[in-house]
Every structure is written in C-alpha cells, then in structure tokens.
C-alpha cells in the first residue's frame, strides 16, 4: 500500500528558517491507474480516436475532481459564514475577539505555508498561464499545487468566520486551476502531450462554472480574461471541462441559481436612463475600489519594512470590528446577506453609507493578507449602489431589481474589466434573460467609465506583481525535488 505522507519540516535558506509543508506523494498506484486506462484505450483500432481519448481523459478527471472540491469548499465556506453570523447576531461584541484572532491566523497560514495563496487567486492563475507559456514550471509550481489548495481553503474559511468581507469564487478558480495543473504533471510520459497553458486556463474556467453554476460565464471568462491563444485549439476540452465540473456541482447540490429569480417584469419606459446612471456610478466605484485595494496593499508592504506585519493585521481587524459594532454590521461577510434581501423583498431602502461599507470591508480585509476573493463582495457593493439609486427615485420593485442587477454587473466590470463575463454571470445567476440587453449595456458603459480611471484591471496589476515576486523568489536546491513531487 502507498499512502500520502504529510510532514512539516524546517529548512534553512539564506540564513533564515522557514516552515514548509512537505507533501510527498508516492505515485506508484496512480501510475498503475494510468497504465490500466491506457491499456483499455489502446485496444481501440482507430488511432485518431485513441489519441483523442487519451488527450481528453486528464481534462475529464480533473473536471470531476474540481467539481467535487468546489462543492465541498462552498459548503464549508457557507457553514463558517453562517456560524459567524449566528454567533454575532445577539453577541455583536464578540467581533472584537473573532476578527483579530481570525485575521491573524488566516494571514499567518498564508505567510508561513503558502505565500502565493493570499488574496483572490485569479491574478495568480493569470500569472501562471503566462509563465506556463515560457515553460517556467518552477515558477508555476509556486502559484499552483496541493499546498496552495490546502492553505487557500483553510485561510479563507478562517477569515470569513472572523467577519472578513471576502468571497469564495476567486479562490475556487485557483483551486480548480491547481487541480488541472497537478493532473497535468501526473500524465504518463507515454501519453500524448497536453499544453500546460491550456490545461490551466481550462481549470480556471471550470472553477468559475462550478463556483457560480454558470457554464457560459466560465467559457466567456476564459475567452475574455485568460486566453492568449486561439481558442479553437482547445475549445472541446474547455467546453467539456466546464460541463463536467458544472454537472458534478449540480449532482451534489441539485439544480440551483446563485441568486434566484428576482422580479423584473413590467419595467418603466424611462428605466434606461436610470440604468446608464447606475452603470456610471457603479463602474466608477469599482475602478476606485480596485485602486484603493492596490494602494492599501502597497502601504502595508511599506509599513512592514518598519514594523512587524502583525500590527497591520490587527489594525485591519480592529477597523472591521469598530465599524461593525458602532456603525453597521453589514460590513461583515461575503455580501450574500445583503444581496438577497435587496432582490427578494419589497423593502429596497438602505442607508446612504452602506455602499461605502460594502467597499470598505473588502479593501481592509484584502490588505490584511489572508486568502479570499472579491467577486461576491464586488457584486454586493454594486447591488447596494443600484438599490440606493432606486430608493432615491422611489422606483417600483421591478425597476429597483433591475438597477440592483445593473449595479452588480457595472461594479464587477469596473474591477475586472471583463464586461461580457460580468453580464453573463449575473444573467446566469438570476435566469433573467429578458434584461440581457440592459445588463450588457451597463457593462459596456461601466467599462468605458473605468478606463478613464485606469487602463488596466485590478487583476492585471496583481498578475504583474505576482510574476515579479515569483521570478525574484529563488527556490532552495533542497526544496526543488520536494516541489516536483508536490506538483
């Protein structure tokens, strides 16, 4: 029998001791599985069909595993967030304890065991795709792998339990891309080669599809954000991976919509003006939101050169605690607790400062250094902007719901600069095909507005930062063999 051995060891590199999580995987049994599969396939007389099956098999296996892990991660994340809200509902003073402890633990997990698991995960995947094209597998192994998956899950769950304003969608994309990367490294030498870059891109698309239950969104995301090669070379693999990962998630969770069926019928004739107004406001807010995160993250690095980073993490936790306790606890969590009441109740009224809180929470949480995404927080921030405008003009329930959806699309576009992905995601989350033209128009307007603030997206800035870091970060000779074993 062969087992997965997990150990923690201390190694000395450049005169410093660093703790590393050494996962040594004995591949003999895995090799036997690959060998058995290849024997069955080689019984087929058609050579072209044999090669096609052998090339498709890694995508199918990775997609199935990604779907299962996406569901397990979603349930753990939701359970941690629900438990946190349950504890704080009648004992809000606990936030002064939960936030500092969880922020520190989440950040330490990342800094000690997997520094490149911090934050969203999408910039890391984008950086890995570019590095894979240069065949720099050592650099890619720092951004994707088993260790990344473990720490990404643990850190984000701890952070959301502590009231952090983060989402799980970006982390799911890095987790899924890591699974595809690992499977790619385990493919036998005798099998037809698969381009690593295409494998990682497909994994990211499958992860988004499984996280949101949005297959079209996963495909559009790959085309609009990730791919630099002609999609026709791997479109079958991409479509298959998205379908398998999505079906696996549905098999475990059942058919579901991320946000349900908001009422958007009987819209007013003049609503198009309000749509453009919300798109401008939300797109602008999304762009400034991105710049605020980048500025605060840069300030944190400068702060860390003079003082211990622990002080910064505690300061971020105290800011979240102060706002939640003395102003409004809506700053806490991923934002689902904000979006659902706005979409599915007749009361669309919110305080004028709530959109600022939904932006402040992710900005402060992200700079603390733990793992966590900004997809869901961005959607919730945009939803509050749409709701505020609708409430200000005293619009009907249907008109207000449309503006909430428009705000979500526009804010996410302002952050990611992927207008079609944002529009398709919100469309599939709500199954409101009747308003697709409003959503696409809002995405285009928001994208144009955001470009006046910054030509590059939030993810583009972080991708370049991760590329610089990973290329400047040497790998000790003693660790190279271990990284190779980890995948």
H-helix or E-strand spanning residue 428: helix 419-430
Angle CA(176)–CA(177)–CA(182) in degrees, nearest 5? 100
pLDDT of residue 164: 93
Which residue range is the domain that position 102 belongs to? 55-257
480, part of any domain: no
CA dihedral defined by 445, 449, 450, 454, rounded to 10 degrees? 140
pLDDT of residue 257: 65
Kindly state whether residues 61 and 39 are assigned to the same domain. no
Question: CATH number of the domain that 287 lies in?
Answer: 1.10.3080.10
Please write the tens of the pLDDT for every residue from 288-335: 999 999 999 888 888 766 677 888 999 999 999 999 999 999 999 988
169, part of any domain: yes
Please write the tens of the pLDDT for every residue from 210-264: 888 777 788 788 777 776 555 655 667 777 777 778 778 777 776 666 777 888 8
Residue that is written with structure tokens 């051995």 in the block: 5
Kindly state whether residues 39 and 59 are assigned to the same domain. no
Kindly state whether residues 101 and 14 are assigned to the same domain. no
H-helix or E-strand spanning residue 340: helix 336-344
Concatenated DSSP letters of 237-252: HHHHHHHHHHHHHHHH
pLDDT of residue 6: 36
1, part of any domain: yes
pLDDT of residue 94: 94
Kindly state whether residues 228 and 364 are assigned to the same domain. no
Please write the tens of the pLDDT for every residue from 90-135: 899 999 999 999 999 999 999 999 999 999 899 999 999 888 877 7
pLDDT of residue 340: 86
Please write the tens of the pLDDT for every residue from 397-410: 999 999 999 999 99
**Portion of the chain with pLDDT greater than 70, in percent:** 83
| Average pLDDT along the chain | 83
Kindly state whether residues 73 and 165 are assigned to the same domain. yes
289, part of any domain: yes
Contacts of residue 96, defined as CB under 8 A and 6 or more positions apart, other chains included, come to 318, 321, 325
Lowest mean pLDDT among 3-7, 53-57, 80-84, 158-162: 3-7
Kindly state whether residues 84 and 175 are assigned to the same domain. yes
**Domain final position from 204, 235, 257:** 257
pLDDT at 28 over 50: yes
476, part of any domain: no
pLDDT at 170 over 50: yes
Under the banding of pLDDT at 50, 70 and 90, the label for residue 44 is: low
pLDDT of residue 26: 41
Please write the tens of the pLDDT for every residue from 418-472: 899 899 989 888 888 888 899 999 999 999 999 999 988 898 999 988 888 888 8
Domain tally, the chain: 3
181 neighbors 144 (Cβ within 8 angstroms): yes
Q: State how far Cα 355 lies from the chain centre.
A: 21
pLDDT of residue 34: 62
417 neighbors 426 (Cβ within 8 angstroms): no
Kindly state whether residues 309 and 191 are assigned to the same domain. no
50, part of any domain: no
pLDDT of residue 41: 62
Kindly state whether residues 339 and 250 are assigned to the same domain. no
Rounded Cα distance between 388 and 411, Å, is: 14
472, part of any domain: no
pLDDT (mean) for 270-285: 95
């Amino acid at each position: 029998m062969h087992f997965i051995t997990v150990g923690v060891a201390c190694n000395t590199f450049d005169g410093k001791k660093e703790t590393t999580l050494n996962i040594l995987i004995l591949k003999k049994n895995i090799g036997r599985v690959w060998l058995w599969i290849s024997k069955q396939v080689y019984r087929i007389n058609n050579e072209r069909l044999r090669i096609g099956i052998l090339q498709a098999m890694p995508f199918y296996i990775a997609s199935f595993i990604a779907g299962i892990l996406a569901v397990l991660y979603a349930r753990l994340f939701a359970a941690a967030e629900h438990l946190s809200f349950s504890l704080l509902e009648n004992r809000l003073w606990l936030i002064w304890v939960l936030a500092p402890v969880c922020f520190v633990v989440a950040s330490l997990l990342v800094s000690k065991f997997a520094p490149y698991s911090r934050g969203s995960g999408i910039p890391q995947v984008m950086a890995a795709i570019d590095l894979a094209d240069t065949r720099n597998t050592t650099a890619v192994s720092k951004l994707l792998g088993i260790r990344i998956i473990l720490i990404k899950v643990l850190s984000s769950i701890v952070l959301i339990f502590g009231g952090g304003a983060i989402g799980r969608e970006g982390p799911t994309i890095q987790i899924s891309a890591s699974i595809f990367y690992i499977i790619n490294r385990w493919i036998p030498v005798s099998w037809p080669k698969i381009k690593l870059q295409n494998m990682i891109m497909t994994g990211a698309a499958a992860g988004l599809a499984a996280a949101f239950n949005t297959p079209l969104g996963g495909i559009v995301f790959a085309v609009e954000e990730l791919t630099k090669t002609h999609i026709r070379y791997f479109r079958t693999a991409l479509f298959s991976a998205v379908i398998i990962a999505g079906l696996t998630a549905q098999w475990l969770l059942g058919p579901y919509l991320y946000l349900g069926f908001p009422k958007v019928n009987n819209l007013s004739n003049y609503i198009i003006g309000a749509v453009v107004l919300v798109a401008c406001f939300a797109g602008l807010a999304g762009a400034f939101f991105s710049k605020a995160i980048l500025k605060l993250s840069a300030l944190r690095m400068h702060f860390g050169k003079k003082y211990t980073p622990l002080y910064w993490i505690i300061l971020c936790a105290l800011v979240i605690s102060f706002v939640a306790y003395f102003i409004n606890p809506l700053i806490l969590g991923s934002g689902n607790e904000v979006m659902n009441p706005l979409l599915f109740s007749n009361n669309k009224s919110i305080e004028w400062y709530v959109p600022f809180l939904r932006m402040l929470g992710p900005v402060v949480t992200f700079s603390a250094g733990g793992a966590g995404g900004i997809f869901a927080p961005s959607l919730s921030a945009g939803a509050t902007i749409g709701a505020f405008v609708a409430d200000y003009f005293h619009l009907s329930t249907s008109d207000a719901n449309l503006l909430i959806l428009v705000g979500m699309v526009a804010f996410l576009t302002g952050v990611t600069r992927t207008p079609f992905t944002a529009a398709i995601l919100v469309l599939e989350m709500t199954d409101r095909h009747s308003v697709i033209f409003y959503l696409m128009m809002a995405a285009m307007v928001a994208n144009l507005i955001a470009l006046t603030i910054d030509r590059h997206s939030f993810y583009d800035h972080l991708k370049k930062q991760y590329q610089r870091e990973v290329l400047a970060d040497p790998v000790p000779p003693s660790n190279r063999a271990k990284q190779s074993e980890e995948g």
